[in-house]
Structure 1
């Protein structure tokens, strides 16, 4: 759980309702726990599967839908920008992916600046796994000259003034002396080159995942246009991070523009703010919840979660239309969970099962237990190691096992789920 501090007055103003006991109960039913409630501040705990709620705009959006104030799928309009980010070959084995966007038409006051910093830090700690999966950078557009290049250089060739520093520092000095450098130095440890974002004038924007440049990377209350990027080892995660932040900024009144990210001969256009489709079955929902949900109630319940609904030509088969900031949908069971929250767990009546069964060990489990007991009796120690192993290593152990491989593993030593304990 992650604590999120909300401005109570702003939340009430955006919702158009008072934070009464009934509204606070609805927040709990939505899946957030309340830690503190004062006239100035509401502190809630957010579950890790909902990174889109880790900001005041994101939480307000979800609560407005749940309360029926602004239900349903909210569209996000994006327009193309002329900006390009060229990803250099030098970052392939260092930090190979990035996603980006241009933010325009936003007035940054002290409150919005606080919200911007908070969503960045909350995502860094949670969804980005302390910047290991991805690191976020936000920069004032008026300080950037021309297109941007994402490249890697040897540490001794890197020198710039890091954010809130009085003087220029080398990459080594940043990692050894700057507070953020010391905190995240382990993420660059052992690398022959360090990643950098630079503009057409070769001025450093940032040294990801450590720190922005002070000259080109400091957002203030005078900023009206911004460049947003997320870089890391997983392209999908980088894109999802940018989508979450773009949705929050759009809810704050900003206009979103796409950026062309060029990988040699290939290129991506980010962010993709189009909704995704998750198919689900009516009988599957009923079976999992133990209640019968009428077809006409499905779009109403999903609208309370900010999700759209459409039918297919196949009987009892439907589509949930997922907004771009909802990155927690992987399977139709996630649709069932949203329907259950909207329906209200308190409305599901508990029933004793009509069939009583007894659990028991399988033959294989019994055999494994006996083998473990025998080996422990010979003074051997049992260990249960990582869930990820190398695919080739597993095939040497048991060629007959079906091995589930990871789509984007960092190392061949951990590129598949272990088939057995």
Structure 2
């Protein structure tokens, strides 16, 4: 089965198949799906496209959606139990693969009767897991293999790129691993993951048949089709928790369509038996549930809400013992369970009430500063934009000719585009210009917004003002006149000094200082920076740490 990738967790659901699996009318299903955390993107005559929250990878195909809906609709409640049969299926992990792609887990699922729709559903789940848990295969990649023409024990090892040949999916000729990276569509797309590696990972059977070249492509020998009854699943990567989560989601999905799960005995560099499908147990304080949710549900209502969300739940005094099924990779803290109590209870059942807070609200000084600066920039002919506070190191530093600095990192980023919190605004404005090259010039845009400055103790919220102008005559003098106008209007003195910021052209850049402290930068954008953003016209820009001027602006 081909390994794939996708950009958005949008699941295509066949209406007829969904009705059959859930046992309810499609109109009721479509009415209830948004209540479990989803957005219906579009409804077609035969299919419906639904976007699920990325933190629920178990809902990335119709099998997982059906399982969740059965609980939510009171058809089949509580935590499903999945049994693993003991086997003598073995897999050896060698030392050679540890510096390349060290982690692997696996399982065997037998006695399957796969339809065309089942295979489509598995492919979709595989693709979404590559994106959601795998960060486009960097952390996790999955292989699904027909067992009929391969023999245990298997070996996971690393080899010289030119020493091993096999026929990859989609081709009719053997190629070595280097050729696959150059010629195969998947090799071109994902070969960067193995960049600078002298050896490449492979998975082979007892007779040296190649099952997979992770994280790139499987071999044709093990392609899954409707005649497949026994499947071997391998999940490789760099993060053990993530690959175990992906494996659990896959094997439980296959079990739900009739398969029997058999374990894999892994030995060599490490020894383990996978998959591990035991329920995780949490004891949650009922008082905490009520305080966090803000409504007074009874113990029975809490228990029933959890069972509707496919948890096991038993009341024990003032606590509820919660059993979490193995496919729920998103449950990391009791608060995650409390959130599901609210979903199971039904947000539509919550009655809004006005907060009992004395006093009258007023604008914060930083907002008053923003109001004045927005008026000034608008008066100068600039159009205001609002961009995301989430970005990545490439956009924030590399594309700006700047050295990578310490940033606040996102622990579990949804996409590769959003891995850190921004600490400047100018990169976002350049991205806006890049997306609007089809618009006529001149273009002049600005943003007054929040950035995050990391310190030794904590991350500090700050507010910056940044603007950029692009047209055939954009230059240092234009931007200096903008800076003059801003400081004249806010009636604050400033000085200029030399700058070494490589985002701007040497000799056409300057630091802005107030009371001998740097508060900003401006100048002509460096040609390399323009090239990194596919811009062909000159541009000039500035950025000011507005929060450092708030007290003087408002007094």
Show the counterpart of 2:91.
85
Structure 2 unpaired stretches of 5+: 1-7, 365-401, 411-454, 460-555
Show the counterpart of 1:8.
15
Show the counterpart of 2:130.
124
Find the partner of 1:300 among 293, 301, 304: 304
- Stretch deviating more after TM superposition (62-71 or 266-275): 266-275
Show the counterpart of 2:273.
269
Deviation track 1:114-173 (CA, whole Å, cap 9, x = no partner) reads 111111111112221110111000111112122011001121212111112110011111
Pick closer, same or farther for the CA change 1:219–1:193 going to 2, 3 Å. Answer: same
Deviation track 1:271-325 (CA, whole Å, cap 9, x = no partner) reads 111111122111111111110121122221111100111244xx42222110000
Structure 1 unpaired stretches of 5+: 362-380, 390-416
1:146 and 2:149 are equivalent in the alignment: no
Show the counterpart of 1:353.
355
Find the partner of 2:260 among 230, 255, 270: 255
Find the partner of 1:326 among 325, 328, 349: 328
1:200 and 2:206 are equivalent in the alignment: yes
Pick closer, same or farther for the CA change 1:356–1:181 going to 2, 3 Å. Answer: farther
Pick closer, same or farther for the CA change 1:270–1:419 going to 2, 3 Å. Answer: farther
Show the counterpart of 2:458.
420
Pick closer, same or farther for the CA change 1:418–1:156 going to 2, 3 Å. Answer: farther
TM-score for both structures, normalised by structure 1? 0.83
Does the 8 A contact of 2:103 with 2:238 survive in 1?
yes
Show the counterpart of 1:238.
243
1:269 is displaced (CA, Å) by: 1.1
Does the 8 A contact of 1:387 with 1:418 survive in 2?
no
Once residues 382 and 202 of structure 1 are traced to their aligned partners in structure 2, the CA distance between those partners, rounded to angstroms, is: 46
Report the secondary structure of 2:87's partner residue: strand
Find the partner of 2:407 among 386, 395, 398: 386
Pick closer, same or farther for the CA change 1:153–1:359 going to 2, 3 Å. Answer: farther
Once residues 204 and 128 of structure 1 are traced to their aligned partners in structure 2, the CA distance between those partners, rounded to angstroms, is: 23
TM-score for both structures, normalised by structure 2? 0.64
Once residues 325 and 102 of structure 2 are traced to their aligned partners in structure 1, the CA distance between those partners, rounded to angstroms, is: 27
Does the 8 A contact of 1:155 with 1:194 survive in 2?
yes
Show the counterpart of 1:287.
291
Once residues 362 and 202 of structure 2 are traced to their aligned partners in structure 1, the CA distance between those partners, rounded to angstroms, is: 56
Pick closer, same or farther for the CA change 1:382–1:225 going to 2, 3 Å. Answer: closer
Find the partner of 1:225 among 227, 230, 233: 230
Report the secondary structure of 2:162's partner residue: helix
Once residues 388 and 291 of structure 1 are traced to their aligned partners in structure 2, the CA distance between those partners, rounded to angstroms, is: 34
Show the counterpart of 2:105.
99
Once residues 348 and 339 of structure 2 are traced to their aligned partners in structure 1, the CA distance between those partners, rounded to angstroms, is: 14
